């Protein structure tokens, strides 16, 4: 055996609640003011929700506005007061107490961000990593792909059946590659272990809960060639009881699920979170650009998997470095030096270029909403603009 594991949490997990609320604020600002600057952190503990950080925008939100954003976000997540859980067992919207601690963004930062000619300087220094793999249709690693499929399935059922399940859900998948060589060459052999933890109402017996979740696992669309119920180890609510949940029993904080949001631990990640930030913050825009590059390289058939690293200096538009690492899986005639130079020469990768490329200053119901991205993960969803395979032909030009 050669095993690798990734976990995923649902939007109802307290950390994800914090991310979704923070990005609901980003959406609210940018949909009215595309030039707004936002970096608003959220802390969820018990019935308390604290919003802090910096905002510089023509949009001036009142306390009532923030209260509406929070309660609307919680209702969409599934904390809408309609479940059969008591107010001691999970968060109810009527009990929420909100505190807002928002400041203006520093003028020292802003003078380097908004530059003459419309260019945007990076809103901070830092490193970002994008990754892609041929292991799954989504060009993502297998373990997090299948953990997300399971989490989506159970979460969807929980939202539709609040009399049975709560929305604070975790899933985990262990993939067996058989050998290290298979791991390095993107050849998963089987799903070795599945773990699902989903809160159920107190009246539901553990046997009933486990039978219910097992049907959801079987119907989640896992690849038949990898999932065999008779061989896969399956743990459903392994403690035997999971009733109490939400921020009443586990606090949440913006940016604490970076591995869940990205590549499931299969690839390096940058030092900063995406949620809560506008597009000038390269922790967000740089990740999207790096993922787009890596995905198009793999989709072009140049490598089986690929890591792209970008770095930026605060107030500077061009990245300070661009590197491509295909982890030894590149095709004959292509190497990492060639790819790194090709990316640097063909894609500007300034915050303005990235913003225009993916429409990051124009979130909306017809394109994407940052709050939905926070709920589903920052990468790996084909509906996101930064997941488009529109540079495949550009990269194929390297094949001789």
Quick: pLDDT tens for 278-292.
999 999 999 999 999
240 and 194, same structural domain? yes
Same domain? 148 vs 195:
yes
- Indicate the number of domains in the chain: 2
- Residue 134, classed as helix, strand or coil, is coil
Short-list 255, 297, 293, CA closest to 277: 255
| Residue 78 located in a structural domain | no
The candidate with the shortest Cα–Cα distance to 255, out of 273, 271, 243, is 273
Both tokens of residue 114?
């908004």
The pLDDT of residue 107: 65
On whether both 224 and 303 belong to a single domain, the answer is no
- Can you list the positions of beta strands (E) in the chain? 3-9, 37-45, 48-56, 97-103, 126-133, 170-176, 190-197, 233-236, 252-253, 305-312, 321-325
Parts of the chain with a pLDDT under 70? 105-112, 114-117
Q: What is the pLDDT of residue 124?
A: 82
Contact 355, 342 (CB under 8 A): no
CA-CA distances (angstroms) from residue 172 to 207, 231, 344, 369? 20, 16, 37, 26
- 160: in domain: yes
In a domain, 238, yes or no: yes
215 lies in the same domain as 299: no
Q: What backbone torsions phi and psi does residue 22 show, to the nearest 5 degrees?
A: -60, -45
Q: Which of 184, 215, 244 represents a domain boundary (last residue)?
A: 244
210 in helix, strand or coil?
Answer: helix
Closest by CA to 26, choosing from 277, 317, 324, is 277
| Same domain, yes or no: 304 and 366 | yes
Q: Residue 101, Cα to own-chain centre: how many angstroms?
A: 25
Q: Is residue 66 included in any domain, yes or no?
A: no
* Residue 328 falls in which region: left (phi positive, over 0), alpha (psi -120 to 50) or beta: left
Token look-up 């399956």 returns 234
Query: CATH number, domain at 360?
Result: 3.30.300.10
Q: Could you tell me the residue range of the domain that residue 319 belongs to?
A: 126-133+282-397
Are residues 291 and 231 part of one domain? no
Mean pLDDT of the chain: 95
pLDDT for the residue 120: 83
Residues 72, 275: contact at Cβ < 8 Å?
A: no
CB < 8 Å & 24+ apart, contacts of 60-69: 61/25, 61/28, 61/29, 61/102, 63/98, 63/100, 65/28, 66/25, 66/98, 66/100, 67/98, 69/21, 69/24, 69/25, 69/28
* CB-CB contact of 119 with 109 (8 Å): no
Final residue of a domain: which of 225, 244, 263? 244
For 22, other C-beta atoms within 10 Å of its C-beta total 30
Give kind and range of the element (H or E) at residue 261. Answer: helix 258-261
In a shared domain, residues 305 and 240: no
Residue 211, helix vs strand vs coil: helix
- Tell me, what's the pLDDT at 138? 96
Claim to verify: residue 292 and residue 358 sit in the same structural domain: yes
Are 149 and 238 part of one and the same domain?
yes
Domain assignment of residue 353, yes or no: yes
Name the domain boundary from 244, 264, 293.
244
Residue 234 and residue 304 share a domain: no
Decide if 21 is inside a domain.
Answer: no
Tokens 């930062």 appear where? 109
CA pair distance 303, 332, nearest whole angstrom: 10
**Is 169 among the domain residues?**
yes
Residues 303, 218: one domain?
Answer: no
349, two tokens: 């990768």
**Residues 317 and 387 reside in one and the same domain:** yes
Q: Whole-model pTM?
A: 0.95
Residue 271, C-beta contacts closer than 8 angstroms, at least 6 positions apart: 126, 127, 283
Q: What is the pLDDT of residue 191?
A: 98
319 is a domain residue: yes
Give residue-wise pLDDT tens across range 80-129.
998 899 999 999 988 999 999 998 766 665 656 766 667 888 878 899 99
Tokens 């159970």, residue located:
154
């Amino acid at each position: 055996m050669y095993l690798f594991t990734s976990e995923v949490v649902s939007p109802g997990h307290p950390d994800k609640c914090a991310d979704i609320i923070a990005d609901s604020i980003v959406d609210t600002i940018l949909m009215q003011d595309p030039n707004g600057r936002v970096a608003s952190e959220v802390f969820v503990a018990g019935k308390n929700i604290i919003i802090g950080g910096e905002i510089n925008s023509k949009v001036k939100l009142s306390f009532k506005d923030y209260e509406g954003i929070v309660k609307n976000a919680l209702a969409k997540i599934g904390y809408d007061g309609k479940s059969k859980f008591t107010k001691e067992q999970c968060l109810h919207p009527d009990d929420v107490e909100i505190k807002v601690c928002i400041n203006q963004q520093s003028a020292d930062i802003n003078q380097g961000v908004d530059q003459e000619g419309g260019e945007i300087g990076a809103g901070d220094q830092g490193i970002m990593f994008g990754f892609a793999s041929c292991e799954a249709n989504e060009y993502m690693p297998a373990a997090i792909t299948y953990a997300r499929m399971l989490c989506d399935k159970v979460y969807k059922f929980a939202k539709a059946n609040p009399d049975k399940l709560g929305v604070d859900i975790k899933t985990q998948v262990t993939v067996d590659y058989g050998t290290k060589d298979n791991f390095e060459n993107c050849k998963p052999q089987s799903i070795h272990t599945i773990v699902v933890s989903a809160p159920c109402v107190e009246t539901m017996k553990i046997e009933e809960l486990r039978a219910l979740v097992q049907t959801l696992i079987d119907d989640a669309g896992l690849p038949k060639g990898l999932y065999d119920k008779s061989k896969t180890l399956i743990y459903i609510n392994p403690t035997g009881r999971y009733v109490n949940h939400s921020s009443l029993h586990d606090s949440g904080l913006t940016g604490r699920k970076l591995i869940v949001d990205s590549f499931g631990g299969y690839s390096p990640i940058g030092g900063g979170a995406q949620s809560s930030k506008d597009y000038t913050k390269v922790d967000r825009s740089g990740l999207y650009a790096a993922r787009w590059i890596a995905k198009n390289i793999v989709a072009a058939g140049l490598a089986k998997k690929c890591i792209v690293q970008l770095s930026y200096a605060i107030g500077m538009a061009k990245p300070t470095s661009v590197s491509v690492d295909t982890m030894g899986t590149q095709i004959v005639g292509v190497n990492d030096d060639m790819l790194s130079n090709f990316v640097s020469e063909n894609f500007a990768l300034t915050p303005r270029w990235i913003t225009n490329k993916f429409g990051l200053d124009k979130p909306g119901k017809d394109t994407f909403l940052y709050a939905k991205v926070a709920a589903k993960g920052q990468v790996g969803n084909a509906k996101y603009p930064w997941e488009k395979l529109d540079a495949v032909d550009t990269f194929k030009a390297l094949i001789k």
